[in-house]
Amino acid sequence: MAQQFYKKVYSIGEGYDALYKGLRTVKYLVRNKKNGQISSKFIERIMLAVTEVNGCEVCTYGHTKIALEQGMSNEEIQDILSGTTEGIPGEEMKAILFAQHYADTKGMPSKETWETIQEYYGREQAVGILGAIRMIMIGNSYGIAYSALRSRLKGKPVEKTSFIYEIGMILSLFAFLPVAAIHGFVLDIFKAPLVK
């Protein structure tokens, strides 16, 4: 099955939400990877699963390349990119399904699903999984606009977007980056929940 791109288009506000949430949780992803709680292949499965839901062309290309370099088979990658979970290791299945749910709800998962992930993996690994999901959500949110702009410049505009949207979304990333970092820092100081 061929990958469908541009399944979702994120508004500038939704892009900002993805940005500050991702910057807030990236430290947990880094810590989990360093401590061996999340393998590189597990991270790539999460990245590919989220990208499949969102339909980001540039992220599909980039993470397919990384997954192949990590030793994942072409068949496994294609299964994930077609929404199939058959080859997912059993211990990773709940995380992959949560990642898909997170992307499908544009970063607003149900309280019950987040609690299930924490119970199954434990708080420390769960926040690492959340960090991986949120990092690819940043990539997808802005990558979709970037891919659409590239396509437009090649004479193949995407129906769901406009030139103004594509440029606005890309420029907003640079404008929002310092604000989002401060936003996440302040939320950490006040110990705001990671998932509302």
Is residue 43 domain-resident? yes
pLDDT at 1 over 60: no
So what's the pLDDT on residue 4?
Answer: 77
Identity at 58, one-letter amino acid code: V
Model confidence pLDDT, tens digit, residues 33-52: 999 999 999 999 999 999 99
- What residues make up the domain containing 126? 14-188
CATH number at residue 107: 1.20.1290.10
Is residue 1 domain-resident? no
Model confidence pLDDT, tens digit, residues 121-148: 999 999 999 999 999 999 999 999 999 9
Model confidence pLDDT, tens digit, residues 69-83: 999 999 999 999 999
Is residue 5 domain-resident? no
Distance CA 52, CA 81 (A): 5
In the chain, the number of structural domains is: 1
Is residue 194 domain-resident? no
Is residue 136 domain-resident? yes
Residue 2, CA distances (Å) to 52, 80, 145 in order? 11, 12, 20
Model confidence pLDDT, tens digit, residues 93-128: 999 999 999 999 999 999 999 999 999 999 999 999
DSSP annotation string for 89-144: -GGGHHHHHHHHHHHHTTS---HHHHHHHHHHH-HHHHHHHHHHHHHHHHHHHHHH
Is residue 4 domain-resident? no
Closest CA to 107 of 145, 135, 79, 134: 134
Is residue 193 domain-resident? no
The position carrying tokens 């339909």 is 55
Is residue 6 domain-resident? no
pLDDT at 3 over 80: no
